[in-house]
Each structure stands twice: as C-alpha cells, then as structure tokens.
Amino acid sequence: MPDMDILYTVNEFPNLSESFVINELYELEQRGHNVSVFSFARSGEEVTHEEIDELDISIHYGDQPSFTLFPELFSRSILNSTVLHQAAFIDNPLHHAYYLYLGKQIIEAVEEEGGIDLIHAHFAASNRLACTYAAAYHEIPCTVTAHAYELFSPSNMKRLQRVCARFDHVITPSKYNKRYLSEKIGVDTEMTVVPATTNVDKFEPSDDCVSGRIFTVARLVEKKGHKYAIDAVAELIDQGYDVEYHIVGTGEREDFLRERVRERGIDDHVKFLGHVSDERLKSELHEAELFVLPCVIASDGDRDVAPVALKEAMATQTACVSTSISAIPELITDGHDGVLVEPNDSAALADALSTLLNNPSRRKEIAANGRETVETKFDISQAVDELVSVFQSCIRSHGDHGTKSVDSD
C-alpha cells in the first residue's frame, strides 16, 4: 500500500505529557506518510520536544463553543444522512451539539488537506465522536487509541462503550487495557495492542551518575504517586542516606507536594524543576542513580498504564523503581529490568531504593537489562510497524466494504 494521508486528532497540540503522540507523528512522517493534526484547543506550553521542531506538518485548531454554534449545526456537513446515522446521542444535549460542531470543523480540515485516508484519535473521550462524524461524511475509516483517564474514571461506562463502538478499530497501549475494555466495559470492536513508546536511540545510556540522585518525571497528579516518593526519600534521609530528589513536571498537586516536603523537613533535598527542555531532561536522566515512579490508583479510579517516562528512563540505562499496578508489570519484570513494589507503600519504596543504593553492581545490572528491554520490545519503530499495519488494514477493509453501517440509538 502506498504512503497514507492521516489526520490525528488530539485535545491540545503540542502537549509535553503526551510525548507518545509526538513520537508517533515524527516516526510516521519519517517513513514518508503525510500526517496532519486537528487539535481541539491550542497549547499554552512553551517548552517543546526536539521532534516537534523537526515536524513539517499542518495543524488545524478547533474553535471553542459559543452562542454562534447552533446556526452552524444546520450546515450541509451536519444535515447529512450519513453523519446523522452515525451520531450517537449523548445525554447532555449541549455536549452533543458541540460534538457535531467539532465534527463539522474536522470535515473542513479534511477538505483543506485535499482528502485523508484515515482519521486517528488519541483518547476515547466522548468528544472524539466528532472524529467519527467527519469520517462518516468523507467515507473513510476512523480509529482511536484508548489510554487511561477516559477508561478508568469515566462518568458513564455505557457512554464509553457507545463511543468505542463508533470506531472501526480500537488500539490499546497494553494487554491490561484491552482486557479492561472487553471484560469491564463490554467493548466488542476489534482491538490491537500497540504500546505507547519512545525513540530509544534518542537516549544515550548513562555512564556518570550523581551519587544519591533520585529522579521522577511525571505530571503532578494523584495517580503518579509523588507523595509516596517524597515520604520514601524522607525515610532514607532519616536513616542517614545522603540523597537528593529531583522532580520534573507540573500539575494540580504541586502546592500539596511542596507542603509535604516542608512537613517532612526535607526542603534541602528536593527540587521541583517544572517543565524542562529535552536537553535538560536527558541530563537529569543521566545524572540520576535511580528513577522512581510509584504509580497508584487515584481516588476517582484513574491510573497509569505503562508510562512512557519509565521507558525513557530505562532507555538511558537508569535503574527504575515503580509499582505493580495496571500494565506496569508488562513493561518491568520485577528484579530483572526494574523493581516493583505494592502501591501506596512508602516504606516498601524506601526499602527498594535503599537496596539499590547499597548495591551498585546490582543497580547497574538492572539498568542494563532495562535498556535491553526497551530496545527489543518498546522502541517506537516496532510500535509504528504495528500501527501502520492496523491503519492499512482498516483502509483496505473500508475500501472493500464501503462505509460501515452503525445502528442508530
């Protein structure tokens, strides 16, 4: 099959916490595929990835809803039998109207591109129905990657099932996600596991770390488990270890976490670095003796699956300590290429960290195995091989059978 024309749809572009999207776009473009982006909103982030600067793609931005929205719903794009047949009514009429309006904008983006072979959405949130409306209008396939927050803390599981049913194919980043969607949500759309990955070659193996440096890269949100890492670092300091903890990321829990550091009396040992450049990130990874990401299941059910940050740390040959939730055991084999502890347990985390700090040869062995794991199982080239196969199959199937038929609700 010749090179494809693919439109990616995302909430914001670029988004540093969604490096997996940037990695996919970059790899697809490097392979000669024509990729473009429809972003529901503009990103306010200033620090970017190197790959973004090298991308030569068009980006379309959606308009936010306003009182002028409703006349737009009477356009030829919306008052179209194929689109209306595809439409899945959402319980909030205003949301439903907005998704139709977004669909109109995506339809127009496809036309501006001179035609598209396939629309791919990241995250199976309700507003991604807009992508299926545009795909139905242009009679092309539409796929989605179902990640985390929209699966594990949905406001309505039946709605999630209905959203997934509107896509030709659902991609999941782990076997855990696939089982969850099938068994818990009741999704029967065809699914394929394609891990969210990184470009391993971008990260050189570490060879000169700073003694006692512990490092985390993650948004400052509950499911990342920073609280337990801070408490574990405090326990290590109480035991006499000379450690320094660096945290890259921003988020809603920053004030809470800074207060936690003050309460534990370890202000001189913890640095919040916010967003950093790619060069600073690689420098921090190289200097770290240990990478820690003590993921937990958040109070609303949200959870990480197999974070790309862990894969990037493993790629730099930095020994990783994480937890045994969700799909992290699909990435890390405890005791071989990382160490896993039970979630919500700062004492177990401190014990795992101290064991590796006390045993440099063991730490280096685990770090080397981690690099080998991501090289052989989680490099972006392998993931995009699988992604391209799914896209091409959907395009062929759509061409053979025409626009898929979807029962109306």
280 and 246 in contact (C-beta within 8 Å)? no
The hierarchical CATH code for the domain 200-377 is 3.40.50.2000
For 48-72, what is the mean pLDDT?
74
Range of lowest pLDDT (206-210, 279-283, 389-393)? 206-210
Share of the chain above pLDDT 70, in %: 89
Span 193-197, average pLDDT: 92
Q: Are the C-beta atoms of 42 and 10 separated by less than 8 Å?
A: no
**Paired tokens of 78:** 């919306």
Q: Which of 10-19, 75-84, 273-282, 349-358 has the highest mean pLDDT?
A: 349-358
pLDDT band at 404 (very low <50, low <70, confident <90, very high): very low
Note the helical H segments in 31-128: 50-54, 69-72, 81-86, 93-112
pLDDT at 213 (0 to 100): 98
Q: What is the pLDDT of residue 19?
A: 84
89: pLDDT confidence band, cut at 50, 70 and 90?
low
Q: Which residue has the higher pLDDT, 51 or 273?
A: 273
**Maximum Cα–Cα distance across the chain:** 71
How high does pLDDT run on average in the chain?
89
Residue range 252-263: mean pLDDT, rounded:
98
Per residue in 330-358, pLDDT (tens digit) is 999 999 999 999 999 999 999 999 999 99
pLDDT tier at 49, thresholds 50, 70, 90 = low
Confidence class for position 80, pLDDT limits 50, 70, 90:
low
pLDDT over 90, % of the chain: 73
The larger pLDDT score, comparing residue 325 to residue 148, is at 325
- What pLDDT score does 100 carry? 84
- Which neighbouring-strand residues pair with 334? 338
Report the distance separating Cα 307 and Cα 315, nearest Å. Answer: 13
pLDDT of 409 higher than 50? no
Nearest-angstrom CA–CA distance, 218 and 328: 15
Residue whose pair of structure tokens reads 């000669």 in the numeric block = 32
- Domain boundaries along the sequence of the chain: 5-197+380-401, 200-377
Predicted pLDDT of residue 48: 62
- d(CA 357, CA 360) in angstroms, rounded, equals 6
Domains 5-197+380-401 and 200-377 share a fold: yes
Least confident of 68-72, 203-207, 221-225: 68-72
Q: What is the mean pLDDT of residues 210-233?
A: 97
Distance, in Å, from the CA atom of 295 to the CA atom of 318, rounded to the nearest integer, reads 18
Predicted pLDDT of residue 267: 97
Token pair, residue 92, equals 């909030």
User: Residue 368 pLDDT > 80, yes or no?
Assistant: yes
Average pLDDT of the segment spanning 262-274? 97
Q: Above 50 in pLDDT, residue 326?
A: yes
- Quickly state the pLDDT bin for 68 (edges 50, 70, 90): low
State both tokens at 258.
């800074």
pLDDT band at 130 (very low <50, low <70, confident <90, very high): very high
Which pLDDT score, from 0 to 100, does residue 163 have? 92
Question: Does residue 69 carry a pLDDT above 70?
Answer: no
Dist CA 112 CA 110 (whole Å): 5
Look at residue 44 in the predicted model and tell me its pLDDT.
Answer: 72
Report the pLDDT value the prediction gives residue 199, as an integer from 0 to 100. 86
Cα gap 211→254, rounded to integer Å: 26
Between 80 and 187, residue with greater pLDDT: 187
Q: Is the pLDDT of residue 248 over 80?
A: yes
Are the CB atoms for 213 and 233 separated by under 8 Å? no
5-197+380-401 placed in CATH 3.40.50.2000 = yes
pLDDT score of 225 more than 60: yes
Q: 19-23, 109-113, 297-301, 305-309 — which is least confidently predicted?
A: 19-23
The whole-number pLDDT of residue 303 equals: 94
